[in-house]
Amino acid sequence: MQAGLAARQDRDSLRYPCRQLPTADLNPAAAARLSLPTRLALESDESYPWVSATDNDMHPAMDQALALVWAAFAALVDPAITIWSYAKPVVLGTIALGVAYVLYAMVRTGMTPDPFVLHSVGDLRVATGRRGRRDPSTPASPSPAARVNDSDAPGSVWSWREYLRLTCPAWRTPFRATPYLFNAHLQTIHAALGRLNGRAEYDRDFLTMPDGGEIAIDWSRPKGGVPYRSTTPTVVILHGLTGGSNENYVQDLVSFLASPPYGYRCIVVNSRGCAESDLKTPQLYNGAYTDDFRFAMKHLQKCLPHAKMAAIGFSLGSNILVKYLGEEGKKAPFVGAVSVCNPFDFVMSNKRLLQTRLHRVYSRALASNLKKAYLKHAHVIRRHPKIHHGRIMNSKHIWEFDDRVTRIVFGYMTVEDYYADASSCNYISKIRVPLLCFNALDDPISPLEAIPFRAADENPWVMIGTTRTGGHIGHYTGWIKPERWCTAIYGQYLSAVLEAEAIVPVPDPAATDASDFETDVDEGTASDASAAIAAPVKPVVSGRDSAVQVSEASASMSPVPRAEPVAAPATPAPTAAAPAPTTTIPAPTAEPPASRALPAADADAAAAAAGAVARRGLPTWLVAPGARTATLRALVQWIMQNVVQSRRVLVVLLVLLGMRRTLK
């Protein structure tokens, strides 16, 4: 047996030169320099198990090929193993920090309330309480606005703030984002790919435009077993870019308003070529073109002459709606409207989309959606003599698509001209119906810089509501099945304006012509609305209404521009003929608000405690009543805020540790 083993070793030494020197005969330093495949080959019983031990006729070419394979394998594996051994602590540390940051963001998101803040609330008066005027088709359990109207005596008048506080209880509930959707980008992506919270059913009609084009109008079907009547309140909906009645945010709202206790009729006006409709002409739609919507509203007014109407638009549809309201002014057929995530200023919005790489992702995504919509109707759009298919398909950003399609089809000289004409912020001052503009301050598509706060301050009909977070048409809350928190926000507002008898502005005492304050009500309520202006108003909360989360603290925390105070007219200097009076009037002292003023006993106790602290030489925050809790809260908040910055220090330490190990 020993002789057979020796003969086999001699034979293998001739066939496999790499096995002439086993690892046991090498010194440790030489063995460590061998590659991993070489060490495996030397320490194994058979280097090539697929070759028979008794085969002495192996071709040299095969032997060389196998040797090259092993060499290539060693050249690939050895550097990777070496790099991983040094980079492993850095990679694992980075992953651990990323997981820790995600957990921290989820906890912070779940624990931080985001109040709904109102800006530029105008001085309006609301007439309510007309018993016996309600639609018999309304459900037995009425909406909050219907309960307020039915419970008051005829001729009740409310201020705009107080009426919204009573009819919109959802406004007092702060927004708490879904923990795993803790930033604007996750909220926006989930809004584009998220599930439906309520499914709507429609009956479709087609309306032919004067130029031969065609749009689809979807009428919601009644829910709850109550059929629609000719006087049922109606909500007209405009979708976003390349959307339609099938979008989840549209179906969520339709399901909310069509179900009890509201029971409203919802009508979705789809743009040309959207919602699986055919395009009849080479003309598409854009944010500046309101003729289709104007023609559709005339058709709906003929179909429903006795129904009160309100409107709501999302994203691009909200821009079309606001521009239409500004163009129509007092002739607008709505009693109220809502603008959701309106870009307002197309120039600023497009500039924001091209500032960073992450925002360019949204620009590319919007351009991709437009190109998909174009491909569905390319055989019709290419009839235009100036349209080039290749250039359109090479568009990478939304402004390139607008420059190569929208600008050409609608006759603009440059894409900047189109953006300037489409910006609905230029029409805010001409709106004459109650309008709620709902935006999130972190919206990546509708930036904060484009929200027209100053223009809304000058128009009592326009009100802006914001949240710090929420993304673009997002605002998801909940854990397992996230739902849109904002659906109830603008759904209850639409109910409030539909249930009110009349909404009129308070005339300016300095105005000389009272005819400027006309009301958009019918003949039967015009006299009541006029009397409502002079009627006594229900008690209201002075200043900003804390009941609708418009406190001084929340308003000051929001990074939005405030309206500058109007300077008082300069008093003419006294002349020599009229000497200045000798008596002087003392300036009134600024007293703190009642909510911040301390009772006399507490103020004396606080003063005594402060004096004792000063005598003992101790810091005030250590012994003042309630100061320790506030200090600990501020310390914890500071630590939580600096965790994000401290992760950079940990990464540097891990890199230095890896370099130290490499040098050893």
Annotated active-site positions, please?
Answer: 315, 443, 472
Q: Which residue has the tokens 């484009």?
A: 450
Other CB atoms within 10 Å distance of the CB of residue 196 = 13
Task: Please say whether the beta carbons of 74 and 36 come within 8 A.
Answer: yes
Q: Which residue has the tokens 């030169």?
A: 17
Axis crossing angle, helix 486-499 with helix 160-167, rounded to the nearest 10: 120
Nearest to 422 by CA among 347, 513, 500, 314: 347
Tokens encoding 450: 């484009």
Q: Which residue has the tokens 């690939």?
A: 76
Taking CA atoms, 84 is separated from 23, 217, 249, in Å, by 25, 61, 47
Taking CA atoms, 270 is separated from 237, 283, 510, in Å, by 9, 14, 44
Task: Please say whether the beta carbons of 358 and 299 come within 8 A.
Answer: no
Beta bridge partners of 206: 216
Question: In the Cβ-directed half-sphere of 131, how many Cα atoms lie within 13 Å?
Answer: 5
Taking CA atoms, 471 is separated from 186, 243, 356, 447, in Å, by 8, 18, 17, 10
Task: Measure the CA–CA gap between 467 and 418, rounded to whole angstroms.
Answer: 30
Nearest to 273 by CA among 129, 141, 369, 171: 369
Task: Please say whether the beta carbons of 339 and 322 come within 8 A.
Answer: yes
Q: Which residue has the tokens 């984002």?
A: 177
Ranges of beta strands (E only) in 281-384 are 309-314, 337-340
Task: Measure the CA–CA gap between 319 and 518, rounded to whole angstroms.
Answer: 25
Between strands 337-340 and 435-440, the pairing is: parallel
Q: What b/e sequence results for 55-84 when a residue is b if at least 16 CB atoms lie within 10 Å of its CB, and e otherwise?
A: eeeeeeeeeeebeeebeeebeeeeeeeeee
Nearest to 109 by CA among 471, 606, 652: 471
Task: Measure the CA–CA gap between 317 and 328, rounded to whole angstroms.
Answer: 16
Residue type, 240: G
- The size of the chain, in residues, is 664
Task: Please say whether the beta carbons of 457 and 120 come within 8 A.
Answer: yes
3-state secondary structure of 126: strand
DSSP per-residue codes, 499-525:
H-SEEEEPPPTT-S-GGGS-----HHH
What end-to-end distance do the CA atoms of the chain give, in Å? 48
